[in-house]
Structure 1
Amino acid sequence: MIAREDPQSPLEMHTHEFSEIVIITGGSGVHVADGDQWVLSAGDVFVIGGDRPHHYVDTDHLRLINVLFDSDSLEMPLQDLATLPGYNTLFHLEPAARQRHQFESRLRISSADMHEVCRLVDCLENELKMRERGFRFIAMATFMQLVGHLSRCYGRTKNLDSQSLLQIAEVIGYIEKNYSKPISLDELVDISGLSRRSFSRVFESSMGCTPISHLIELRISRACELLKNTERSITEIAFDVGFNDSNYFARQFRKILNVSPSTYRQSAINPGGSIASVD
């Protein structure tokens, strides 16, 4: 869904069911969320989760575009996008850090990039409005272009605060691509370009967990997919996702999901029970 505010009037505190890509196209104002405030101006772009109360105050001809999307139900094939630092930063790290009151910066795009972003939004809005045959396919493709373009823009940012998140995003992309291989903390520190202490501090403040905990959770998430969709043995799956000890895999699986791998597989094959999921 596309919502244009031209101008955006001051609003009461509110939430949405969907996440939002907010694109500031003109004017100025102040964005307030959970007691934090950020001054906005043309070129600013940020993502806010649907469960976060927010509103706008002190608006002066503030013009913006909201692209609303449901990240849980949106079946967007990420392909190699998950390895792109700008994507992980804009859509995951920055909103999470901002929600922990630890990040004030945001993406600011050039006038040329704003022109391209507005063109993509216009195309997306037209497809959703006209609803011609094949509109869902074209709308999804256009939305993916928008996400990809903004992710590339973030990857080019020179803002120092954003750069620290991009360094963490570089690590997350590496983990996404290589989770099935042996990965050490020292290796991740080297990739980040930060000191060991700074890397651990920035990663935990951004992700809410340690780097190794994130790696283990990703491996367990991938294992869940294999348990549901393949007939490979639990031991084979453990090795497939990067564990070199099936007993350790089983312990970590139970620690995170409160069920054994075999019970999880059985519940997935015969739905009826309630089992946890890895976020």
Structure 2
Amino acid sequence: MLLRLLLLTLISYLQPLNLRADRAYLSKRQFLRVFSRNYHTTPMDFVIRKRLDYSCTLLRNPGLSISRVAMESGFRDQNYYARQFKSSFHCTPSEYREKQYPEKAGPSEWRAGLACGNSIQIM
């Protein structure tokens, strides 16, 4: 059952929580309780981390704007995406792109001094 919860959350991370709970044959409250107890995070925090991980992959493409990366990653609001990204990586998506892929991001004066996290810490 635990594997089913995790798979449902991973596969359907763009779907509402109540739909994921229905597919696991649990009430919304039971789904939250079982998931949190076993994975030490809420389903929504888990989903946000997965969306941010995916956005890091998309940031490799210099042809995609930051707003497009946000949308493709499942964030409807670019500002919310940027806040979540900065909270997890301690830099903005643009700074991350420049730090991780300097040859794709273009020239910048401050690149050398950028202190930006490299990965999300999953509990």
Q: Is 1:241 aligned to 2:78, yes or no? A: no
| Distance apart, 1:230 and its partner CA | 4.0
* Structure with more of its chain in strand, by fraction: 1
Corresponding residue for 1:269? 101
Alignment partners' CA distance in 2, 1:224 and 1:170: 21
Corresponding residue for 2:39? 207
Q: Structure 1 stretch 238-247 or stretch 227-236: which is displaced more?
A: 227-236
| Distance apart, 1:223 and its partner CA | 0.4
Alignment partners' CA distance in 2, 1:246 and 1:216: 14
Deviation beyond 6 Å, 4+ runs, structure 1: none
Corresponding residue for 2:6? 169
1:46-103 superposed Cα distances (whole Å, 9 cap, x missing partner): xxxxxxxxxxxxxxxxxxxxxxxxxxxxxxxxxxxxxxxxxxxxxxxxxxxxxxxxxx
Larger RCO (CA within 8 A; separation ≥ 6): 2
Q: Which blocks of at least 5 consecutive residues in structure 2 are unaligned? A: 103-110
Q: Give the CA RMSD over aligned residues.
A: 2.0
CA contact under 8 A between 1:267 and 1:275: conserved in structure 2? no
Secondary structure class of the residue paired with 2:60: helix
Whose radius of gyration is greater, 1 or 2?
A: 1
- Between the two proteins, the alignment pairs up a number of residues equal to 111
Alignment partners' CA distance in 2, 1:169 and 1:238: 23
CA contact under 8 A between 1:170 and 1:191: conserved in structure 2? no
Q: Is 1:189 aligned to 2:21, yes or no? A: yes
TM-score by length of 2: 0.78
* Structure with more of its chain in helix, by fraction: 2
Provide the identity percentage: 33
Q: Which blocks of at least 5 consecutive residues in structure 1 are unaligned? A: 1-163
Corresponding residue for 2:82? 250
One-letter amino acid matched to 1:200 = L
| Distance apart, 1:274 and its partner CA | 4.7
| Distance apart, 1:229 and its partner CA | 3.7
One-letter amino acid matched to 1:170 = L
